[in-house]
């Protein structure tokens, strides 16, 4: 038995040929998820997607934009937020709010990247006029979450 054969059903098995070679037979099915192939296990469960196979959240995209725009400013590629807004085709205030995300406390950034922020906390809550001190940012986030419950 040589070559690749894909079977959607069956049982996993090891096949030994007369010359001593072993062939491992595992039923497998591929599905597309967000343009990527996803493996479905024999029991019907989908395998865990890889981190790069998961679409980023709005907060994660906003954080990335803010840091990209900050890097553009720091490198001299652009000279103002207004110039970034013109290049990106967005409003000046949007650029300003995304840039605010670059001063968030490290644990808040980590929670955004891990998609571990409470559902009640929105991009607006975090990006509009965040407190300068990290402790105040944390307190502000907790207060907003508790007020929604």
* Tens of pLDDT, residues 5-58: 566 666 777 888 888 888 877 777 666 655 556 667 666 676 666 666 677 888
CA dihedral 120, 122, 127, 131 (to 10 degrees): 0
Q: Is the dihedral of CA 149, 115, 102, 67 positive or negative?
A: negative
In 3-state terms, what secondary structure has residue 81? Answer: helix
Beta carbons of 95 and 101 less than 8 angstroms apart: no
Q: Enter the pTM of the model.
A: 0.61
């Amino acid at each position: 038995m040589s070559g690749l054969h894909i079977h959607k059903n069956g049982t996993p098995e090891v096949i030994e040929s007369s010359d001593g070679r072993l062939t491992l037979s595992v039923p497998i099915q591929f599905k597309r998820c967000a343009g990527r192939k996803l493996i479905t296990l024999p029991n019907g469960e989908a395998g865990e997607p890889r981190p790069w196979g998961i679409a980023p959240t709005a907060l994660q995209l906003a954080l990335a934009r803010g840091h990209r725009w900050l890097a553009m400013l720091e490198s001299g590629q652009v000279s103002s937020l207004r110039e970034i807004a013109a290049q990106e085709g967005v409003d000046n205030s949007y650029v300003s709010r995304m840039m605010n995300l670059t001063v968030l406390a490290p644990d808040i950034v980590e929670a955004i990247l891990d998609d571990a922020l409470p559902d009640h906390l929105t991009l607006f809550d975090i990006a509009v006029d965040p407190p300068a001190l990290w402790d105040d940012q944390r307190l502000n986030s907790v207060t907003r979450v508790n007020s929604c419950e």
